[in-house]
Amino acid sequence: MISASVVKELREKTGAGMMDCKKALVETGGDLEKAIEYLREKGLAAAAKKAGRVAAEGLVDSYIHMGGRIGVLVEVNCETDFVARTDEFRAFVRDIAMQIAATNPQYLSREDVPAEVLEKEREILRVQALNEGKPEKVVEKIVSGRIEKFYKENCLLEQAFIRDTDITITDLVKEKISKIGENISIRRYVRFEMGEGLEKKESNFAEEIAQMTKS
């Protein structure tokens, strides 16, 4: 049984994706040093170094949900125009656009969440915990845990990937960096929803898009 703490340590040391780290540890019987060697041999441990390089090329792509009810524009950067024109990079950008359409992330990363929004969310969660009868001494710990859930639901890079919920978008980016050999970064996006801000019947777009990805 490979513990989550060992997987996390390997990720921190190598910058490789979570699933790659798990596989490396399984293949090496849980030996951390051998797992690091395994990832280096596979060319997967270089992702952290590559992530520091300038990515000024890339692609702006769009995704329109069936019926024109949701539209997404996203800019994803890489280092060279050659990579930007490859089918693999284009497919990756399309996956990111579909992710945004399905999950409607409010922020790109946790660092983008305004301090006032975070503070308001903390206060709401604190009141909720107290109303649930939680002891005062554990309320802050409960709030911290729920803030992490807030990040995972509202920040694109923290979200579970809709095509493989065992990994996050950050994990996916790292795996693509390792595979493609260039730094990749999701720079910005905008999402439009028909009638947004107007009173209307809600529809589960996320479920519809998730079904499309399985087909």
Tell me whether residue 166 is in a domain. Answer: yes
Total of domains in the chain: 3
DSSP-assigned letter for residue 150? H
Tell me whether residue 190 is in a domain. Answer: yes
Low-confidence ranges of the chain (pLDDT < 70): 43-54, 199-215
Tell me whether residue 149 is in a domain. Answer: no
Instruction: Say if residue 98 is in the same domain as residue 167.
Output: yes
Residue range 92-146, pLDDT digits in tens: 999 999 999 999 999 999 999 999 999 999 999 999 898 888 888 888 899 999 9
Describe the chain by its helix, strand, coil percentages, rounded to 5. Answer: 55, 15, 30
Instruction: Say if residue 77 is in the same domain as residue 169.
Output: yes
Count Cβ atoms within 10 A of the Cβ of residue 213 and give its class: 0-12 exposed, 13-18 middle, 19 or more buried.
middle
Q: Residues 16, 22, 26, CA angle at the centre, nearest 5°?
A: 130
Instruction: Say if residue 15 is in the same domain as residue 94.
Output: no
Instruction: Say if residue 91 is in the same domain as residue 188.
Output: yes
Instruction: Say if residue 30 is in the same domain as residue 128.
Output: no
Instruction: Say if residue 91 is in the same domain as residue 78.
Output: yes
Q: Give Cα separations from 175 to 2, 44, 48, 148, 193 (angstroms).
A: 20, 8, 11, 23, 30
The pLDDT of residue 199 is: 59
The pLDDT of residue 36 is: 84
Q: Give the chain's count of helices (H) and strands (E).
A: 10, 5
The pLDDT of residue 145 is: 92
Instruction: Say if residue 127 is in the same domain as residue 180.
Output: no
The pLDDT of residue 187 is: 94
Tell me whether residue 11 is in a domain. Answer: yes
CATH code of the domain in which 8 resides? 1.10.8.10
Q: Read off the tokens for 59.
A: 């692609």
Instruction: Say if residue 106 is in the same domain as residue 159.
Output: yes
Residues 63 and 98: beta-carbon distance below 8 Å: yes
What is the rounded average pLDDT for all residues in the chain?
86
Instruction: Say if residue 194 is in the same domain as residue 119.
Output: no
The pLDDT of residue 205 is: 60
Tell me whether residue 150 is in a domain. Answer: no
Q: Which of 160, 163, 172, 165 is nearest to 214 (CA)?
A: 163
Burial call 22-31: b when 16+ CB within 10 Å, e when fewer? bbbbeebeee
> Which range of residues forms the domain containing residue 40?
4-45
Tell me whether residue 148 is in a domain. Answer: no
Instruction: Say if residue 17 is in the same domain as residue 62.
Output: no
Q: Which of 29, 34, 32, 40 is nearest to 7 (CA)?
A: 32
The pLDDT of residue 10 is: 84
The pLDDT of residue 98 is: 96
